[in-house]
Amino acid sequence: MTMIGISEKAQGSHPTLVAWLAGAGIETALIDPAASAGRDSQRILHVTEVALARQHDILIDFADGAPVLRRAKVGRPSTVVFGFEDMAFGHALIAELIRPRAMPACGEPESARFLGIAARVARSDATVLLLGETGTGKEGVARFIHAASPRADKPFVAVNCAALPETMLEAMLFGHQKGAFTGASGSGEGLFRAAEGGTLMLDEITELPLALQAKLLRALQEREVLPIGATAPIAIDVRIIAAGNRDIAAEVEAGRFRADLYWRLNVMPMMLKPLGQRRQDIRAISAALLLRHTPDQEELAWPTANALDRLMTHGWPGNVRELENVLQRAMLMRDGDRIEAADLMIDAAPAAPAFRMTAVETVAAPAIVADNGPIRLADARRMSQARAIEEALAATGGHRLRAAQRLGISERTLRYRMADMRAVA
């Protein structure tokens, strides 16, 4: 838990602020603003205590009318003033102004407990397996674990295994010697060695080909890598955080993921819930995103109470990425100083079920009109897959990533299936 000092006068101006901060993982302690404080400590003071404030403190007050955020400048602390109507967003905004940079935004007490567990896990070198839908913030949690670990001053390297061509994956991960293959004009150290002493995050781990899974298993077991073209292995000191948006146990059962690698990675599994199931996180993340996307010289566009209600009642099938898109559009398209509910262009697509990991093959086959000839099982299966893909693309307006999420597969797998459909056609 992060500890922040708050003056009695500041607490009195917003009596419910301390409870919100506690639920967001930020503990407070009453302090005397006139007393000496640590050089790097941050405090929440009342606006009338400005003479005692330092640049990285926050001044707050309660006042009806248009809410105000004045960001810190040289010699001047941040100031946040709002009334009852804007209290929900105002509390979240204060929390995100004082939250440590490496700590993900959260407002749900359950999410704060999750981050507390992540901080405890960070103190060890245990391999972590982060599971959850695409866009739930797995990389943010991985960065938080790295920042809270003894390896924080060493590199953090993240790689999306689905984003790299299979022909390059081995060289990208383990490195290569000069001349090891066509085009290798020089040697490459690979991502394992680039993360030496630090943390390597392997996202979309289920997209690794089986042959590379065996080499990854050896690297984890022996703590060494063998670059392509090399004759001697190289010792490594790297902490691994793996992540996936599919049920890896089901992938093992289907023969697409090695059981021995699964158990090697599954030391500390941690599941991230979809954003639609973390209502208080929505306003915390909204505050963090609006702060991130508002230039320092511009006024922050506060969402109205109605706009915030609409954000918190949407299902967010695209999770944080969808929320970020909606807020950025609202910032660009709004007519007034604030973000109104009407400014939120939210897709009408239904919310995806929580962390569905059903493969395309398990989608129930639609009724097939039989002719007089026999239908082979392989043909029926292909027709079922094609129909499921077509329906998912139609439901998402042709958005391949969301269609893949509805089907419980990766976007790359969806591209392969669509290519197969075109080839057959």
For the domain that residue 8 is a member of, what is the CATH number?
3.30.379
CA atoms within 13 A on the CB side of 191: 21
Q: Is residue 233 part of a domain?
A: yes
Do residues 145 and 257 both lie within one domain? yes
**End residue of a domain, out of 297, 332, 356:** 356
CA distance 269 to 132: 11
Instruction: Read off the pLDDT of each residue in 195-217 and give the average, rounded to a whole number.
Output: 92
Which segments of 51-162 does DSSP mark as H helices, in order? Answer: 87-98, 109-122, 138-147
Integer-rounded Cα Rg, in Å, for the chain is 25
Token digits of residue 332:
């660009």
Do residues 26 and 125 both lie within one domain? no
Beta bridge partners, 156, equal 199
Find the domain containing 262 and state its range: 109-271
Question: Does 157 score more than 90 pLDDT?
Answer: yes
Q: Is residue 104 part of a domain?
A: no
Q: Is residue 216 part of a domain?
A: yes
Q: Considering the chain, what percentage of its residues have pLDDT values greater than 90? A: 62
Question: Does 343 score more than 80 pLDDT?
Answer: yes
Q: What is the CATH number of the domain that holds 323?
A: 1.10.8.60
C-alpha distances (whole Å) from 299 to each of 67, 259, 335, 394 are 11, 53, 14, 40
Do residues 55 and 133 both lie within one domain? no
Instruction: Read off the pLDDT of each residue in 328-351 and give the average, rounded to a whole number.
Output: 85
Question: Does 395 score more than 70 pLDDT?
Answer: no
- For residue 413, what pLDDT band results from cuts at 50, 70 and 90? confident
Q: Is residue 60 part of a domain?
A: yes
Window from 130-144, 249-263, 328-342, 384-398 with minimum mean pLDDT: 384-398
Instruction: Read off the pLDDT of each residue in 350-357 and give the average, rounded to a whole number.
Output: 44
- For residue 354, what pLDDT band results from cuts at 50, 70 and 90? very low
Residue 328's pLDDT is 96
Do residues 117 and 218 both lie within one domain? yes
Residue 368's pLDDT is 30
Rounded to the nearest integer, the mean pLDDT of the chain is 84
Per residue in 269-318, pLDDT tens? 999 999 999 999 999 999 999 999 999 889 999 999 999 999 999 999 99
Question: Does 364 score more than 50 pLDDT?
Answer: no
Instruction: Read off the pLDDT of each residue in 138-166 and give the average, rounded to a whole number.
Output: 93
- Output the 3-class SS for the chain: CEEEEEEHHHHHHCCCHHHHHHHCCEEEEEECCCCCCCCCCCEEEEHHHHHHCCCCCEEEEECCCCCEEECCECCECEEEEECHHHHHHHHHHHHHHHCCCCCCCCCCHHHHHHHHHHHHHHCCCCCEEEECCCCCCHHHHHHHHHHCCCCCCCCEEEEECCCCCHHHHHHHHHCECCCCCCCCCCCECHHHHHCCCCEEEEECHHHCCHHHHHHHHHHHHHCEECCECCCCCEECCCEEEEEECCCHHHHHHCCCCCHHHHHHHCCEEEECCCHHHCHHHHHHHHHHHHHHHCCCCCCCCCECHHHHHHHHHCCCCCHHHHHHHHHHHHHHHCCCCCECHHHCCCCCCCCCCCCCCCCHHHCCCCCCCCCCCCCCHHHHHHHHHHHHHHHHHHHCCCCHHHHHHHHCCCHHHHHHHHHHHHHHC
Dihedral angle sign, alpha carbons of residues 183, 416, 393, 421: positive
- For residue 194, what pLDDT band results from cuts at 50, 70 and 90? very high
**End residue of a domain, out of 271, 299, 315:** 271
**End residue of a domain, out of 59, 75, 99:** 99
Residue 402's pLDDT is 72
Do residues 131 and 208 both lie within one domain? yes
Q: Is residue 23 part of a domain?
A: yes
Do residues 212 and 347 both lie within one domain? no
Question: Does 378 score more than 60 pLDDT?
Answer: no
Per residue in 18-73, pLDDT tens? 999 999 999 999 999 998 877 778 899 999 999 999 888 999 999 999 999 999 88
Do residues 138 and 235 both lie within one domain? yes
Question: What residues contact 368, with CB distance under 8 A and at least 6 apart?
Answer: 375, 380, 383
Per residue in 81-102, pLDDT tens? 999 999 999 999 999 999 988 8
Residue 383's pLDDT is 58
CA distance 334 to 103: 30
- For residue 408, what pLDDT band results from cuts at 50, 70 and 90? low
Of residues 394, 318, 393, 409, the one with CA closest to residue 356: 409
Domain total of the chain: 4
- For residue 171, what pLDDT band results from cuts at 50, 70 and 90? confident
Do residues 28 and 166 both lie within one domain? no
Task: Compare 315 and 383 and report the one with higher pLDDT.
Answer: 315
C-alpha distances (whole Å) from 291 to each of 62, 286, 357 are 21, 9, 34
Residue 284's pLDDT is 96
Give the DSSP letter of residue 74. Answer: T
Residue 423's pLDDT is 55
C-alpha distances (whole Å) from 260 to each of 161, 187, 217 are 19, 31, 8
Question: Does 351 score more than 60 pLDDT?
Answer: no
Do residues 285 and 398 both lie within one domain? no
Task: Compare 378 and 319 and report the one with higher pLDDT.
Answer: 319
Beta bridge partners, 271, equal 131
Do residues 266 and 142 both lie within one domain? yes
Residue 165's pLDDT is 78
CA distance 407 to 414: 9
CA distance 24 to 219: 38
Task: Compare 342 and 412 and report the one with higher pLDDT.
Answer: 342
Residue 367's pLDDT is 31
CB atoms inside a 10 Å sphere around CB 327: 23
Question: Does 12 score more than 60 pLDDT?
Answer: yes
Do residues 349 and 378 both lie within one domain? no
Q: Considering the chain, what percentage of its residues have pLDDT values greater than 70? A: 83
Give the DSSP letter of residue 155. Answer: -
Do residues 206 and 317 both lie within one domain? no
CA distance 299 to 70: 8
CA distance 183 to 186: 9
CA distance 112 to 125: 22
User: Phi first, then psi: what are they for 29, rounded to 5°?
Assistant: -140, 135
